[in-house]
Amino acid sequence: MKSPHQQPDPRKTPSATGEAADVPEASASIRLERKHPLAIRWMHWVNFPVLFTMIWSGILIYWNDSDNPYQHAHRVYRIGVGRLTVVRFFPDWFYTLLHVPYHVTLGLSYHFFFMWIFALNGVAWVLYTWISGEWRFLLPDRRSLRDAIQVTLVDLHLRKGLPRQTKYNGAQRIAYTSCVLMGAVMLLTGLAIYKPTQLHWLTSALGGYEMARWIHFWTTMGFVGFFGIHVVQVALAGWNNFRAMVSGFEVQRAESPSLEAERSRWP
């Protein structure tokens, strides 16, 4: 099935494949677009295993409370109404399947080591994006919400025709900027529950220990939700798009808007 985001392979234009051309030669030519700077690619791929380790070790720690829902003072999270629980985080089969039980100290060691890498990588990414000017491709603008709705409708096959975009469309701008915000929330709430005595001012500012812990948990779920959608979208967008996050370059039609030209216009 062809995704609405999947760009036609520019190399398969009539002139490139040797078929009879019914488009002018000039519009059939392609070029290499410098899409993702090296630093962004490194930080993006470092983030993937680091975030994975943070989530995995977080589950090892969280199990400690879930295993004893009636003995521990800590709350076990769930979705439900009143006494009715629809989903409990997490059901026993989930822990058993992932071999989670009884690895709390292992989880704590990994969590408290990798959190520094997650923090340093995140701060470096924000600084680089800001100083290089790449934030202009990433931050939502006045059109992003409308574009994001349009992109979602196209994805759901309820409408045709994607809005014009440069590096990222409106939905991506909103999603990637949310990642930065979620990362900041993870760090702050994490610090608040890591050192609630030394950083009592932070813990209180976040609504207390239990609230900070609640936000920490649900922001993790937000990251998991983002990751699921992100990977599906990347798969649908196709090889050319994915390869650009590895090599830095994307094959583009000559007439598509040039990112380099846009970068050169930045102050």
Binding site for ligand HEM (CB under 6 A): 40, 44, 47-48, 51, 129, 138, 176, 179, 223, 226-227, 230-231, 234, 237, 241-242, 244-245
Residue 104, Cβ density class (10 Å: 0-12 exposed, 13-18 middle, ≥19 buried): middle
CA dihedral (148, 150, 151, 152) in degrees, to 10, reads 90
Query: Smallest distance, Å, CB 17 to ligand HEM?
Result: 26
CA dist 55 and 220 (Å) reads 7
| Shortest separation between residue 81's beta carbon and ligand HEM, angstroms | 31
Distance CA 93, CA 198 (A): 37
Nearest to ligand HEM of 53, 204 (CB atom): 53
Strands (E), the chain: 30-34, 78-81, 84-88, 249-253
- C-alpha torsion angle, residues 255, 261, 265, 267 (rounded to 10): 150
- For the bound state, the minimum distance from the C-beta of residue 120 to ligand HEM, rounded and expressed in Å, comes to 15
Q: CB of residue 179 vs ligand HEM: minimum separation in angstroms? A: 4
Q: Which is nearer to ligand HEM, 85 or 166 (CB)?
A: 166
* Beta carbon nearer to ligand HEM, 41 or 74: 41
Please say which residue, 48 or 113, places its beta carbon nearer to ligand HEM: 48
Identify which of residues 35 and 213 has a Cβ nearer to ligand HEM in the complex: 35
Minimum Å gap between C-beta 10 and ligand HEM is 16
How far apart, in whole angstroms, are the C-alpha atoms of residue 168 and residue 244?
A: 13
Which of 227, 249 has the CB closer to ligand HEM? 227
Smallest distance, Å, CB 129 to ligand HEM? 6
Tell me which residue has its CB nearest to ligand HEM.
Answer: 245
d(CA 136, CA 129): 9
Q: How far apart are CA 254 and CA 30, in angstroms?
A: 5
Which region holds residue 12: left if phi is over 0, alpha if psi is between -120 and 50, else beta? alpha
DSSP string, 170-213: HHHHHHHHHHHHHHHHHHHHHHHHHSTTTTHHHHHHTTSHHHHH
Q: Which is nearer to ligand HEM, 66 or 171 (CB)?
A: 171
Token pair, residue 84, equals: 């009715």
How far apart (Å, rounded) are the C-alpha atoms in residues 107 and 62? 9
- Nearest distance from C-beta of residue 243 to ligand HEM, angstroms: 8
